[in-house]
Amino acid sequence: MKKTTTKLADGRELIYYDADESAVRDAADPRPLETPGALSEIRRDAATGDWVTIAAHRQARTYHPPADECPLCPSREGRTSEVPAADYDVVVFENRFPSLSSLSADAVGHITGSPAPDPAALRVREPGVGRCEVVCFTAEHDTSFAGLGEAKARLVLEAWADRTAELSTLPGVQQVFCFENRGAEIGVTLAHPHGQIYAFPFIAPRTAKMIAAAADHRRRTGRNLFEDLLDSERADPERVVLAGEHWTAFVPYAARWPYEVHLYPNRRVADLTRLTEAERAEFAPVYLELLRRFDRLFGPDASPTPYIAAWHQAPVLGGEELALHLELFTIRRTVGKLKFLAGVESGMDAFVNDVSPEAAAQRLREVAS
């Protein structure tokens, strides 16, 4: 893999990841872009302790442009995009409309490293310091991650791992989150195959819950929660969807979504950077098979399945009990019907699943390649 780092016209970083070591990436960005200003802040919800990001400037972000004006396609004569090159393998760049940014240090009048807020205060805010990046999986506009070859999928994994390593060293960053939103039903505003990476200045609420559950399990049993979960699923494989030498995919016992699969390396590691060569090599065929099964769930006449794919990995500091894994789920519950988060889910964060996890696992086995 060859990595080439450059700058866009407004100073944002852009990184090419190429399979060909001889690739040359020297195209300049000719656009007359202004340097971004101070952006967002985070506010603590006094009732829950969770941090909420306030990023009002994102209202102006690009929304469903026509294919010939896609900002994620390579640039061509007469039309420039976020990627100056005429072609690329995988490319990562700082989001033009980020929820979190190093520039946000000026937004609320103080900088990273300031004294911790008074825990008794009801109105606590901090600068939205962090980083948001876009990961373009391919230069091809009319495809999806499932349409990538194994070599390209492996290159995306290498990019995720590299960004995890680099972003974890930024001042104020506590957690790195790699994810993909796919489909208009999910809320995707750009159709080009891409994902995102958030470098949070806090530990996300779901991660904090996992860390607390793992600590409680360790106190009660002396063992690691995630190792026990994986061992349990492999020992009684009713919900196992796909199993390889290095990875296992299963529907969780208490799945929240109609079709939800968790993909774990069989060896517990904290984050993407710790994966071995063998684990990285097997990831691509296993993950591509999972995505292709998702697209076959609802029959040949259904539109591509909308989904969210979310990597869960340990925070920069702490969370040693956490195990790297990917959670893949769709909000579609059957043909033409979506799982909406209404009163119970949105109001109380208490999920009700319309599909049994065992039936979901059986269906995902039925649609194997």
Calpha distance 80→74 (Å, rounded)? 8
Calpha distance 341→262 (Å, rounded)? 20
Sequence-separated (6 or more) residues with CB below 8 Å from residue 189: 61, 62, 63, 64
Residue pointed to by tokens 């609320």: 108
196 HSE (CA, 13 A, CB side): 17
Q: Is 5 exposed, middle or buried (0-12, 13-18, 19+ CB in 10 A)?
A: exposed
Q: To 5 degrees, how large is the angle CA 172–CA 177–CA 182?
A: 145
Three-state SS letters, 300-320: CCCCCCCEEEEEECCCCCCCC
**What is the residue-wise DSSP string for 8-39?**
-TTS-EEEEEESSTT----------PPPP---
Would you call 194 a catalytic residue per the annotation? yes
**Residue from 192, 194, 246, 312 carrying the catalytic annotation:** 194
At 91, list the tokens. Answer: 């490319």
**Largest interatomic CA distance in the chain:** 64
- Nearest 10 degrees: CA dihedral of 294, 300, 303, 306? -10
Q: So which residues are the catalytic ones?
A: 194
